[in-house]
Structure 1
Amino acid sequence: MSLINTEVKPFTAQAYHGGKFVTVTEADLKGKWSVVFFYPADFTFVCPTELEDLADNYVEFKNLGVEIFSVSTDTHFCHKAWHDTSDAINKIDYVMVGDPNQAISRNFEVLIEEAGLADRGTFVIDPEGKIQIVEITAGGIGRDAKELLRKVKAAQYVAAHPGEVCPAKWQEGEKTLAPSLDLVGKI
């Protein structure tokens, strides 16, 4: 079953954010656009490059009204230690959620059961708490924050303009499509 247009399932977790430990629940994903960004583990190899890329683009996400929640099955204590010891991770201003009981990873269907780790899963959540974008990649394939920004802008555009859709490679300000009988076979 696809997770698209499903509501985020309830969860409660501890996170590291802004130099503090905070509690995060599914309610924190509502009322604004959110990105839930799963990665396998702290202190690894591809993960810090992805999280640093998100950190380098975080202001642009915030300007779109988007909050980022990175999630791994590590604890919030581990997130703090990584934040304190890695130059790349020290750049992070977004929420780093711990999922040691693996409940959130299971809810989003990204848990690798035999490893106890999360796949590289990216989920864009609309203000109603419904999943609008799902992307899951293999462990060795890093993601690109700029491409994620493009997809978020497309999701926001489609939500704000019912009856319009964004074609492949759509960039903000470019022409969209209004699906109709007249377009069938003409694209």
Structure 2
Amino acid sequence: MSLIGKEISDFSVQSYQNGEFKTITKSDVLGKWGLFFFYPADFTFVCPTELEELAGLYEQFQGIGCEVYSVSCDTHFVHKAWHDSSERISKVTYPMLADPTQALAKDFEVLIEADGMAERGAFVVDPSGKIQVYEVTAGGIGRNAEELLRLTKAAQFVAEHGDQVCPAKWQPGAETLKPSLDLVGQL
């Protein structure tokens, strides 16, 4: 069953961001684009490489009106400890959401119940709280933050220009397609 168009459920979780603990709720994420970036656990191996890469593109995500939320089933205390002890994670300035009750991992359908951890799942959520893009990879496969940024931009473009679609490798400013009978069999 596809998650495209699914509205995320109400939630309230603790987060760690910029030296502070904060509560983040569904109402906090509505009204802007969001990237929910699930990863298995703090103090692991592939995860810090991904979170560091996202940190390097965070200003670009913010520049297009998209907040980044990293999410694991660890607590906000563990996020702080990881942030304080890891050179890579110390670069993270976006909210690190704590999901020890696994409510978010269940809602986004990435919970590995036997392990109590989340799969590597990335979800682009529109301002109304609906999933527009998602990908889930196996635990040993790191993701590309630049591609997630590109996908977010494409989702925003399609939301704004409903009569146009973005072809493979589309970048802002590139040619788009207008689906029509005239295009059938012509591409």
- Identify the TM-score tier after normalising by the shorter chain: over 0.9
**CA-CA distance at 1:26 after TM superposition:** 1.4
- The alpha carbon displacement at 1:153 in A equals 0.7
Cα distance between partner residues in 2 of 1:171 and 1:9:
31
The answer for the alignment partner of 1:61 in structure 2 is 61
User: 2:164 — aligned with what?
Assistant: 164
Aligned to 1:10, what secondary structure does the other structure show? coil
User: Helix, strand or coil for the counterpart of 2:14?
Assistant: strand
TM-score by length of 2: 0.99
User: Counterparts of 1:59 and 1:15 in 2: how far apart (Å)?
Assistant: 19
CA deviation string 1:34-91 (max 9, x = no partner)? 0000000000000000000000110110111110010000000000000000010000
Aligned equivalents of 2:109, 2:103: Cα separation in 1: 10
In structure 1, the partner of 2:39 is 39
4+ residue segments displaced more than 6 Å: none
In 1: Cα distance, 2:23 partner to 2:60 partner: 25
Alignment of 1:106-125 (within 5 A): 106-125=106-125
* Residue 29 of structure 1: aligned partner: 29
Cα distance in 1 between the residues matched to 2:143 and 2:158 = 23
Q: What letter corresponds to residue 78 of structure 1 in structure 2?
A: V
Q: Does 2:149 align with 1:149?
A: yes
Q: Give the C-alpha shift of residue 25 in structure 1.
A: 1.1
TM-score, with normalisation over the residues of structure 1? 0.99
Q: CA RMSD in A?
A: 0.6
Report the Cα distance in structure 2 between the residues aligned to 1:100 and 1:8, rounded to whole angstroms.
18
- Secondary structure of the 2:55 match is helix
Question: Structure 2 stretches of 5 or more lacking a match?
Answer: none
Matches within 5 A, 1:52-131: 52-131=52-131
Identity %: 61
- Structure 1: distance between partners of 2:92 and 2:133: 23
> Paired residues, what number?
187
The aligned counterpart of 2:186 is 186
How big is the shift at 1:18?
Answer: 1.6
For the residue of structure 2 that corresponds to 1:164, the secondary structure is coil
Please list every run of 5 or more consecutive structure 1 residues that lacks an aligned counterpart in the other structure. none
Residue type matched to 2:6 in 1? T
For 1:184, the aligned partner's letter is V
Q: Letter of the aligned partner of 1:181 in structure 2?
A: L
| Cα separation, 2, equivalents of 1:28 and 1:106 | 20
CA distance in 1, matches of 2:27, 2:6: 15
